Each structure stands twice: as C-alpha cells, then as structure tokens.
Amino acid sequence: MRPDQIQTECEASLKRLQTDYLDLYQTHWTSRDVPLADSWGAMLRLQEQGKVRHIGVCNMGLEDLQAVSDLQKPVTNQLPFNLMWRMIEAEILPHCIQQDIGVLVYTPLMHGILADKYQSAADVPDGRARSRHFNGERPMARHGEPGAEVETFAALDAIRDICVGLNREMADVALAWIMQQAGIVSVITGASNADQLRKNVNAVESPLSDDVLQKLDAATTKLKTVLGSNPDMWDGGENSRYR
C-alpha cells in the first residue's frame, strides 16, 4: 500500500498483460502503517496518468470507505460474502448500496463448503478451516475464537435439504442466491473445467423464487447471529482488519 509500490506494481501488471491501461485497479487490505490518503493518492495519480480507468478497494469498512470517498469515491469494494458468511449485511453492504459503490464478491462458495464437499468440520482441511466458522485451535487459524462449527453444519444441512427439494446442486443455488442480493455487481467464481463453467452460467440464468430466497435466509440467520457483525473472516475481536 506504499505509493511507490502501487505505481511499480501497476506498471508491472501492464507489462505482463501487454496493455496500456487497466479497466479496474483495486487496493487490497488497508495498511495500518501507511496513511490511507497516501495510498489512495497513488491510485488517483494512476488514473490521471491513464494507466487505470477506474479505481476500487477491497476489504474496506465504513471508516476507511469514508476516508477514501472524501478524496474520490471508489467504484467498487471487493468483499467476502456467501450464504455462510453474511457479515457485510450489517453495515458495509447497505452503505455501499446507498453510496452507489458496487460490491464484488469473493469466496462465494466458502472455500468449497457451499459446493457440498464436506459433511462435518472434521472433513475440512486445516488450510480451509482458518475462518471464524471453525475452532480457533485449528492449526492454521489465528482468530482465537471458539468458532461456530455446530451452527455452520446445521445451516449447511438446511441448505442441502432446500437444494434437494429444488433438484439443484448446492453450488448452483449458492451462486444464484448471491447474484440476487441487492448491491452485488460481480461474483468472482472459478471454474477448473467446462462443466463447472456451464454450471456457473446456469446460476445466472436460473434465478431463485422469493420463497426459496426466504428459506435460505432463514436457514442461515442463526449462523449469522452467532458469528456477529465483525466482517473479517479470519481475525476476531480487536484484531479485525476492518475499520
């Protein structure tokens, strides 16, 4: 997030991509060691130079969003959001909707959990069990919280039952749910083969009914409540990187 790094890394990306400009360039986690105004000033200079057309942010809470908006409002805020992780609904998503800041979603399938890969917390590899859903004693976790494993897999069971009733795969339903939420402008989802890509497209073309949306909301409300309003998926309490 240092201004010189931002300039250098943008120019390196332009070279690798063999292009003169980037359509969208975003900051990542906000540094607490570099003044935000300095970082955002470097982003604005790249825009003035014509090297980027639009500038956005990632993982940014209300205080930091206001700070950058005082200089120039970002067009996007890239955030973690899915049926099992709905923390941005408390404050950040409503603010982005009100300020016309588009939300780009990452981890839409919650590291494979919403692709129905795991039946219990014990099945989830340590590398994918670092989030606040899981016990803080897992080897790669750093949040130090008890987690919400019982509520996580109870919600997953309820989602699975809904998907069975629809005769649709869980990943398909999870992606369709996100794309029908207000304020979401893009969902970052991967595909390792053509079949997965077709399924991703199907989620766009097959919206869920209001009744199903309500059932999914009910199935995950308790988990959302237990996890609380901290939008940082990996760091708990005072260590949250959101501000």
- Rounded average pLDDT over 116-134: 94
Residue 26, pLDDT > 90, answer: yes
Q: Are 79 and 89 in contact (CB under 8 A)?
A: no
Position 200 scores a pLDDT of: 84
Distance from C-alpha of 187 to C-alpha of 200, rounded to nearest angstrom? 10
Residue 185 exposure: Cα atoms within 13 Å on the Cβ side = 13
Distance from C-alpha of 40 to C-alpha of 75, rounded to nearest angstrom? 13
Distance from C-alpha of 43 to C-alpha of 98, rounded to nearest angstrom? 23
Going by pLDDT thresholds of 50, 70 and 90, the confidence category of residue 71 is very high
Residue 85 backbone dihedrals phi, psi, to 5 degrees: -140, 90
Distances from the Cα of 102 to the Cα of 18, 138, 141, 159, 177, angstroms:
27, 34, 30, 27, 17
Distance from C-alpha of 69 to C-alpha of 175, rounded to nearest angstrom? 30
Residue 124 backbone dihedrals phi, psi, to 5 degrees: -80, 125
Residue 237, pLDDT > 90, answer: no
- Rounded average pLDDT over 216-220: 97
Position 199 scores a pLDDT of: 84
Instruction: Return the sign of the alpha-carbon dihedral for residues 137, 138, 143, 145.
Output: negative
Lowest-confidence region among 134-143, 194-203, 210-219: 194-203
Going by pLDDT thresholds of 50, 70 and 90, the confidence category of residue 205 is confident
Position 214 scores a pLDDT of: 97
Position 18 scores a pLDDT of: 98
Average pLDDT taken over every residue of the chain: 95
Position 8 scores a pLDDT of: 97
Position 204 scores a pLDDT of: 83
Residue pLDDT, tens place only, 29-62: 999 999 999 999 999 999 999 999 999 999 999 9
Q: Is 145 helix (H, G, I), strand (E, B) or coil?
A: coil
Position 49 scores a pLDDT of: 97
Angle among Cα 176, 179, 180 to the nearest 5 degrees reads 90
Position 159 scores a pLDDT of: 98
Q: Are 1 and 214 in contact (CB under 8 A)?
A: no
The H or E element that residue 7 is part of is helix 3-17
Residue 191, pLDDT > 90, answer: no
Question: Which domains, ranges and CATH numbers included, belong to the chain?
Answer: 1-74 (no CATH), 77-243 (3.20.20.100)
Position 174 scores a pLDDT of: 96
Distance from C-alpha of 40 to C-alpha of 84, rounded to nearest angstrom? 32
